[in-house]
Amino acid sequence: MDAGWAREIEAKVRAGERLDYDDGVALYDCDDLAWLGGLAHEVRTARNGDVVYFNVNRHLNMTNVCSASCAYCSFQRKPGEKDAYTMRIDEAVRLARAMEPQGITELHIVNGLHPTLPWRYYPRSLRALKEALPQVALKAFTATEIHWFERISGLPATEILDELIDAGLESLTGGGAEIFDEEIRSRIVDHDTHWEDWSRIHRLAHDKGLRTPCTMLYGHIEEPRHRVDHVLRLRQLQDETGGFVVFIPLRFQHDAAGDPRNRLMTQPMATGAEVLTTFAVSRLLFDNVPHVKNFWVMHGLQTAQLSLSFGADDLDGSVVEYKITHDADGFGTPNEMTRDQLLEMIRDAGFRPVERNTRYEVVRTFDGPDPVRRDVPQPMMA
């Protein structure tokens, strides 16, 4: 990056001025990672101090049967495949209830686009889960799934959302975004939910009082300019609705086992430096979203810790099971992190843990790092 441009961007950030597309592309071209991280950390600290948020949640994938065959996905199965599954609703309730002793506050539900499951399965599932765990927030379904529900039910998204909210829905998930640029999207996505419908559905959700996350799948065949375009589209939608509470960059996972479903399986994954750059640039560009989250499952624990000094202020929670990428990678992240492990991870990175709920309301605060531990070198988390 040209030194003059760097000074100009730095001045804009410190003056609270909005960065534009050219600024974003220039930031991705920056070869001074320490400067970039420091600038993003300034913004992150001004917004959220020394806090890192986390929650106690469980990811629940009720079916992996999917009508789509997206190029990046190793999770989807076709009807009749030996490892295809669809949970009975009582099985989903049993799995969710198993987290009660840990103080779960959120269920995160994402599924395949099942070609034959009736629409009514989905509100019934939410209603049963809410009846079993009334204190737990239901964050469920991507905009892609809501678009699919429109197709299989014949109902418009506004009525679908109303029924799901009546059944207990408190937030959509942020998935299905991938990369919005059609040049890239047409090569990796095998369904018809593109920017127009994804944004339409989140706009409707925000109008109904839901607060949702938004995501970006990066590190596959896209270029930095596509990432910048993606974030700026979301930023414009946030200007309209104010409904996004967090932005989550998701690192593409290739398939170490060589599953032919994942047609990008030989694509190299983003390097650690590219990950940190993506978090930093996202924090600097996305000036109207309060939080940036690292989903540690897709980045690894050490890189997740480092990202907290590159713009991120939130770590996904206990998770328990995340089949969507664990069906693909040999990356080595655990399925589950306990509350105590998350506290240690956050403190070890030098921050103060705060447990939150789905709406980022504080559930419980904790002490920050123990300064005594800093006197003795500590092993990094695996």
> How far apart, in whole angstroms, are the C-alpha atoms of residue 356 and residue 153?
35
Judge whether 112 and 77 are in contact, CB under 8 Å.
yes
pLDDT in tens, 93-133: 999 999 888 889 999 999 999 999 999 999 999 999 999 99
Rounded-to-10 torsion of CA 199, 201, 207, 213: -70
Q: Which residue has the higher pLDDT, 73 or 187?
A: 187
Sorted by sequence, the CB contacts under 8 Å of residue 37 that are 6+ apart come out as 276, 280, 309, 310, 311
Q: In the numeric block, which tokens belong to residue 61?
A: 């994938």
Q: Report in angstroms the alpha-carbon separations of 152 from 171, 174, 222.
A: 21, 21, 31
Where does residue 34 rank: exposed (0-12), middle (13-18), buried (19+ CB within 10 A)? exposed
Count of domains forming the chain: 1
> How far apart, in whole angstroms, are the C-alpha atoms of residue 331 and residue 382?
11
Residue 376 domain-assigned? no
Residue 14 domain-assigned? no
Sorted by sequence, the CB contacts under 8 Å of residue 8 that are 6+ apart come out as none
DSSP H or E run through 363: strand 362-365
Residue 250 domain-assigned? yes
pLDDT-derived band at 293, boundaries 50, 70, 90: very high
- Domain range for residue 221? 19-369
DSSP letter (8 states) at residue 101: G
pLDDT in tens, 136-149: 999 999 999 999 99
Residue 1 domain-assigned? no
Residue 289 domain-assigned? yes
Residue 155 domain-assigned? yes
Residue 3 domain-assigned? no
Q: Is the pLDDT of residue 376 over 80?
A: no
As a whole number, the mean pLDDT across the chain is 91
Cα–Cα nearest to 122, from 63, 53, 55, 50: 63
Judge whether 285 and 277 are in contact, CB under 8 Å.
no
CATH number for the domain spanning 335: value is 3.20.20.70
pLDDT above 90 covers what percent of the chain? 78
What pLDDT is attached to residue 89?
97
Residue 382 domain-assigned? no
Sorted by sequence, the CB contacts under 8 Å of residue 211 that are 6+ apart come out as 171, 243, 244, 245, 358, 359
